[in-house]
Amino acid sequence: MHFTTTEENYIKAIYHLQQETGNVSTNELAAELSTKPASITDMLKKLTVKKLLRYERYKGVRLSSEGEKLALAIVRKHRLWEYFLVNTLEFGWDEVHEVAEELEHISSKKLVEQLDLFLGYPKFDPHGDPIPDSQGRMVMQQQINLIDLAPDIPAEVCSVGSQSTELLEILKHKQLGIGTKLQVKRKFSFDHSIEIKMKNLPAITISQQLAQSLFVKTISND
């Protein structure tokens, strides 16, 4: 069965939102997709007929297993293309998202499989997010939010909370990115800002909001 780009974008949005919130509300979706709630309702009915989701009026929506399969296929394509753009075509990791949003809708199955093979079956995209394999499986990272990292534990940034240009801008300015190694030095309970230290750089303070947008995994320092 074939789906339009618009339908795929709805499925993808529901997939991402239901990771956190369980059932996804019409208003959440409207915000995520920059459309009006009325439009969401129309499309939810349409996708329900196509068996991609379980939806009851006024009660929110979840993906069916069909829908989840489709979502994972789209996420797989998105992340593989991001990996390709950064590692093969030498894009910066902060400039691949928009292009991947287009490339993820290319339908050829063979294209995805050959691309995966060419890239060497990567497990994580340039933002640190895991890439689903052809069966939709992906490895789980035990990553924690930077705000929860205990002081003096060496850790490495492995994922960012969103791809908004605003976030990417401040990260670039503060020289933070995927792979950056750091330690938390102090936590200020007044505004929940934290002081972090990166090698060869003076310690800097980052806001609660920024810290919450960064995910890290602890690393052994040998």
Partner DNA sequence: ACTTATTTTTAGACAAATCTAAATTTAAAT
Partner DNA sequence: ATTTAAATTTAGATTTGTCTAAAAATAAGT
Q: List residues near its own copies by CB under 8 A.
A: 85, 88-91, 95, 98-99, 102-103, 106-108, 110-111, 114-115, 117-118
CB 195 within 8 A of CB 209: no
Distance CA 203, CA 88 (A): 34
- Select from 4, 19, 189, 221 the one that contacts DNA (CB under 7 A): 4
- Contacting residues for 70 by C-beta, under 8 A, at least 6 apart: 3, 8, 11, 52
Task: Give residues 47-66 in contact with DNA (rule: CB under 7 A).
Answer: 55, 57-60
- Select from 21, 36, 113, 172 the one that contacts DNA (CB under 7 A): 36
- Tell me which of DNA, its own copies, none is bound by residue 148, counting a contact when its beta carbon lies within the kind-specific cut-off of 5 to 8 angstroms: none
Query: Helices (DSSP H) in 56-150: which residue ranges?
Result: 65-87, 97-103, 109-119
Stretch of residues binding DNA (CB under 7 A), selected from 24-32, 64-72, 101-109, 130-138: 24-32
- Select from 18, 26, 180, 213 the one that contacts DNA (CB under 7 A): 26
What letter represents residue 139's amino acid?
V
CA distances in angstroms from 135 to 80, 113, 128, 192, listed in the order given: 14, 11, 20, 41
- Tell me which of DNA, its own copies, none is bound by residue 183, counting a contact when its beta carbon lies within the kind-specific cut-off of 5 to 8 angstroms: none
Q: How many residues does this entry show for the chain?
A: 222
Q: If binding means CB under 7 A, how many residues of this protein chain bind DNA? A: 26
Please report, as ranges, the residues that interact with DNA according to CB under 7 A. Answer: 4, 6-7, 25-28, 33-46, 55, 57-60
